[in-house]
Structure 1
Amino acid sequence: MPSDPEYARQALATWDGFPVHREPRPIVLTAMGVRALDRLMADSQWRSLFHAPGVPESDLPPEIAPAAVDYCRDVQSGAQRPLANIIRANGPFATDRGTRELPAWMMHPDNRRWPFIALDPDFERRMAWRPPGVQAVHHEESVLANDGRTLTFRFIGTPTQYADYDAEVYETDTAVLVKPVEVDLDGDGIRLDYAEEREVVVRLAAPLGNRVLIHTGHGPGTPTFGSPITVLTPTGRGA
């Protein structure tokens, strides 16, 4: 079985092709958390978008049409329902540098808590980048200090009364991976994983810059291996 450093190298290698020096920097999409979606739907101005006149169903790009059709199915029976009002507007997307308003196709069916939001396929082809086969999965947001090198890495781990954490940091020219390392405090072997938000503070060997912060997700061989993480500044804006 590969060692942790080998896992880190494998994950980092998935981002070797990231065009880190391209201007503007390519958009790296991450997963929108439930809390963010709830805040979104509490915004009356945002919800009013879905009452505006829509566009014809025939305009829906073929790349996203199947997902839109599936999204409008009845949640109980799975029966097909007509598409909801299709809106073309800038919509919110989670990226590795914070939430951004980007060209989108959107609907909000009556039987759904949150809207359907799909990035415009042509815009995604031109402006976004992600390694083939890698999927985004929600992860706690990390914070980069104003010096560009001090990173507060947040994650879900063992509660503070049972363990402390150190960290191992792996870096390439295109990506950074932080691996929290658990330090047992009481020596009795108790582990309550995934129970509390924790954080470790690390100093990078070089400024993060345009590089992508990633994690190992569900491990090698899974679509989340090498998944990107959102990095914010102390003001809450993208790094």
Structure 2
Amino acid sequence: MDDRTGSLAMAALRELWDAGCPIPSPALQGRLLELGFRRWRSFNRRTNLRNPTREDRIHDLTKGLTTLEPDPTLVGPLIKDYHCVATALAAVLEPIEAPQTAVHVSQVRPKTRPRWRRPLEPEAALALWNDFPVDADPRPIVLTGPPGRLPYFPTMENKLASAAAPVVSEVKLPPGVLENLQPQTSPRWQGAPIRVLSAERVLADFPTDRGNRRLPAYSLEIEIENALGRGIVLDPDIEATTWWPAALDPDVRRFDNGFPAYLAADGRSVEIVLFAGSRVHALESPTAVLLITEPEPYVPPGPDAPEAADLAGRSHPVTVHLSSPLGPRVLLAPTTAHPLTVLPR
């Protein structure tokens, strides 16, 4: 996959997400493109059809993309959204005359996604963290995941409910607990609300930029569409002590930012996993380090690089060397200014 094709495919996925398609979230776009590229290229090798049509290939690609689900057999109505993603990828991977992403975008449900910041210029992204109290002792907690999470249920009906249904409580909860469970979607849900039946104080693990931290929280007994489970919400008093830039939408914490970064013993070598032949360098400030990725020039397969095309569609680890030790500074993901989880190598 050359750089232009990869850029166009990622742009198509971002456009679908902005239009409301629930599948290509920023955290999944790289995996969708990686899986889609390999699935599209291997179709002729795998198919038994004599004269496959373009729609046959899109159907096969749709089926392949659903393997990202915990149980693809329960994908249910979301199959239409996966088909939409497959159609958009096909328009880029093997263009037909005048492919128009907008045609595919019009098929998705509008206004059903959480708010997501547009990509930021590197200097602007880094500047958001200028006020981080890097010298504070103890160092402030920086969450890299959501402060509240609903239980996981395997059925499609419960998945849809957990993504869109409002949450109500039958017991008294501290201010802020219920708010961290509410869906970030348009109020289009027609079914029963999610109900909190009971609550108890516990200690629970939450993702931070320095690994999981066990923090005070509320364990909630939750009913979704007649199924019971337990959700977790960070104690609002603890959440109030965490640090987050005032100008950065906190809703981005609702999404997994992908792979963690690994810090070597020298404190300066940072390893991250990137997609599709990218190189990385760092933009540093006294309070934060922003990773910046750039695509590497496309190398066509040949005698000296027989696997070049395959490698262009796979994730791989990359190491960046900082000018000074990371220390208590915050490591930031490219374009979003979202903090990354840093683990020791």
For the residues of structure 1 that align with 2:262 and 2:229, how far apart are their CA atoms?
A: 27
Which of 204, 208, 232 does residue 95 from structure 1 map onto?
A: 208
Which of 212, 236, 244 does residue 130 from structure 1 map onto?
A: 244
1:67 deviates by: 4.2
Which AA in structure 2 matches 1:153? I
**CA, structure 1 residues 230+62, in 2 after alignment: closer, same or farther (shift >3 Å)?**
same
Which of 9, 12, 21 does residue 126 from structure 2 map onto?
A: 12
Q: Tell me which of the two structures has the higher relative contact order, counting C-alpha pairs closer than 8 angstroms and 6 or more residues apart.
A: 1
Which of 101, 104, 107 does residue 220 from structure 2 map onto?
A: 107
May I ask how many residue pairs the two structures share in their alignment?
188
1:79 deviates by: 1.2
1:153 equivalent in alignment to 2:294: no
1:169 deviates by: 1.2
Moved more, 95-104 or 128-137: 128-137
For the residues of structure 2 that align with 1:184 and 1:215, how far apart are their CA atoms?
A: 22
- The aligned counterpart of 1:173 is 286
Which AA in structure 1 matches 2:236? P
Structure 1, residues 25-81: CA drift from partner, whole Å, max 9, x if none? 10000127xxxx98xxxxxxxxxxxxxxxxx922x112222445779xxxx853135
For the residues of structure 2 that align with 1:199 and 1:168, how far apart are their CA atoms?
A: 13
**CA, structure 1 residues 67+210, in 2 after alignment: closer, same or farther (shift >3 Å)?**
closer
Unaligned stretches of 5+ in structure 2?
1-119, 153-169, 302-307
Which AA in structure 2 matches 1:232? L
Larger CA Rg, structure 1 vs 2: 2
Which AA in structure 2 matches 1:9? E
Quick one: percent identity of the two aligned structures? Answer: 32
- The aligned counterpart of 1:86 is 199
Which of 28, 45, 49 does residue 142 from structure 2 map onto?
A: 28
TM-score (norm 1): 0.68
- The aligned counterpart of 1:121 is 236
TM-score (norm 2): 0.48
Q: Could you say which structure has the higher strand fraction?
A: 1
**CA, structure 1 residues 105+153, in 2 after alignment: closer, same or farther (shift >3 Å)?**
same
1:227 equivalent in alignment to 2:345: no
Structure 1, residues 124-155: CA drift from partner, whole Å, max 9, x if none? 223x1011233324221010001101111223
- The aligned counterpart of 2:29 is none
Unaligned stretches of 5+ in structure 1?
1-5, 39-55, 218-224, 235-239
Contact 2:201 2:216 in 1 (8 A): yes
Which of 120, 124, 143 does residue 262 from structure 2 map onto?
A: 143
Q: Could you say which structure has the higher helix fraction?
A: 2
- The aligned counterpart of 1:3 is none
